[in-house]
Structure 1
Amino acid sequence: MSEKLDPSTTARHRDNGTGRRHVAAPAPDAPVSSALLPDGPRPEDLLVPNRSPVTTEPASWGWRGRLNRGSGGLIRPRAAAAEIAMREAIARIQRGFSRPMTVVVIQPKGGAGKTPTTICLSAAFGSYRGGYVVGWDDNETRGTLAVRVSNPDDQRATVWDLLHDLSAFERFDARVGDLSYYVRAQPDAHFDALVSDDNPANMAQIGDDEFQRLHQVMQRFYRMIVVDTGNNVRSPNWQAAVNAADLVVVVSTYQRDAGYSASWVLDHLAQTGREHLARNAVTLLTAAGPTTDRTVRDQLLAHFGARTRGIVEIPYDPHLAEGGPIQWTGLAQPTRNAWTLAGATVVDALAEQDDRHLAARRA
Structure 2
Amino acid sequence: MAEQPRTGFPLAPQTQQPPGTVGAEPPAGFPGMAPRPRQLDGPPRTVEEDARPTPPDIAPDPLHRRPPSKPARQPTGDTWWERLRFEISDALTSGGLSERLVRASSAVEAPITTGRRIVVVGVAGGVGTTTVAALSVKLLGSIRQEAVMAIDATDESGRLLHYLGAAEDAELSAAALKLRSEPVRTLPDLVERAVSCGNQVYALGRSDVPAAADTPIGAAEWTDLSSIFSRFLAVTVVDAGSSPRSRQTAALLETAHAIVLVAPDTDFGADRAAAVRAGLFAARPETPVVTVRTQINGQANGAWDATGLPFDRHLAAGGPIRLSRLGARTRIAATEIAGSALSAANGR
- The TM-score by the shorter chain falls in which range? 0.5 to 0.7
Alignment of 1:312 with 2:300, yes or no, is no
Higher RCO (CA 8 Å, separation ≥ 6 residues): 2
Query: What SS does the aligned partner of 2:149 have?
Result: strand
Alignment check: 8 A CA contact 1:126 1:133 kept: yes
CA distance in 2, matches of 1:231, 1:85: 30
CA distance in 2, matches of 1:282, 1:101: 15
Alignment of 1:177 with 2:188, yes or no, is yes
Point out the structure with max Rg over C-alpha: 2
Q: TM-score, normalised by structure 2?
A: 0.67
Alignment of 1:349 with 2:340, yes or no, is no
Call closer, same or farther: CA 1:337–1:114 in 2, change over 3 Å. same
Alignment check: 8 A CA contact 2:158 2:206 kept: yes
* Length, aligned pairs only: 260
Alignment check: 8 A CA contact 1:123 1:190 kept: no
Query: Which residue does the alignment assign to 2:137?
Result: 122
Query: Which residue does the alignment assign to 1:298?
Result: 302
Identify which of 166, 173, 176 aligns with 2:179: 166
Query: Which residue does the alignment assign to 1:216?
Result: 227
Call closer, same or farther: CA 1:84–1:113 in 2, change over 3 Å. same
Alignment check: 8 A CA contact 2:117 2:258 kept: yes
Q: Cα deviation per residue 1:175-211 (whole Å; 9 max; x = unaligned)?
A: 3224444223222x54222212223442632222222
Call closer, same or farther: CA 1:348–1:181 in 2, change over 3 Å. closer
CA distance in 2, matches of 1:266, 1:320: 26
Identify which of 322, 330, 337 aligns with 1:335: 330
Query: Which residue does the alignment assign to 1:283?
Result: 291
Structure 2 gap segments, 5+ residues each: 1-85
Q: Cα deviation per residue 1:25-63 (whole Å; 9 max; x = unaligned)?
A: xxxxxxxxxxxxxxxxxxxxxxxxxxxxxxxxxxxx969
CA distance in 2, matches of 1:62, 1:352: 35
CA distance in 2, matches of 1:231, 1:82: 32
Alignment check: 8 A CA contact 1:107 1:261 kept: no
Alignment check: 8 A CA contact 2:195 2:202 kept: yes
- Report percent identity of matched pairs: 23
Query: What SS does the aligned partner of 1:298 have?
Result: coil
Structure 2 residue identity aligned to 1:111: G
Query: Which residue does the alignment assign to 2:47?
Result: none
CA drift of 1:110 comes to: 0.8
Structure 1 gap segments, 5+ residues each: 1-60, 67-77, 306-310, 354-363
Identify which of 263, 267, 270 aligns with 2:278: 267
Alignment check: 8 A CA contact 1:137 1:195 kept: yes
- Structure number with the higher helix fraction is 1
CA drift of 1:313 comes to: 1.3
Identify which of 246, 250, 256 aligns with 1:235: 246
**CA RMSD between the two structures:** 2.7
Alignment check: 8 A CA contact 1:141 1:205 kept: no
CA distance in 2, matches of 1:142, 1:186: 19
Identify which of 191, 194, 211 aligns with 2:201: 191
CA drift of 1:116 comes to: 0.5
Query: Which residue does the alignment assign to 2:107?
Result: 92
CA drift of 1:335 comes to: 1.0
Structure 1 residue identity aligned to 2:155: E
CA distance in 1, matches of 2:333, 2:244: 28
Query: What SS does the aligned partner of 2:254 have?
Result: helix
Query: What SS does the aligned partner of 2:126 have?
Result: coil
CA drift of 1:244 comes to: 0.7
Alignment check: 8 A CA contact 1:145 1:196 kept: no
Alignment check: 8 A CA contact 1:115 1:145 kept: yes
Query: Which residue does the alignment assign to 1:17?
Result: none
Call closer, same or farther: CA 1:212–1:276 in 2, change over 3 Å. closer
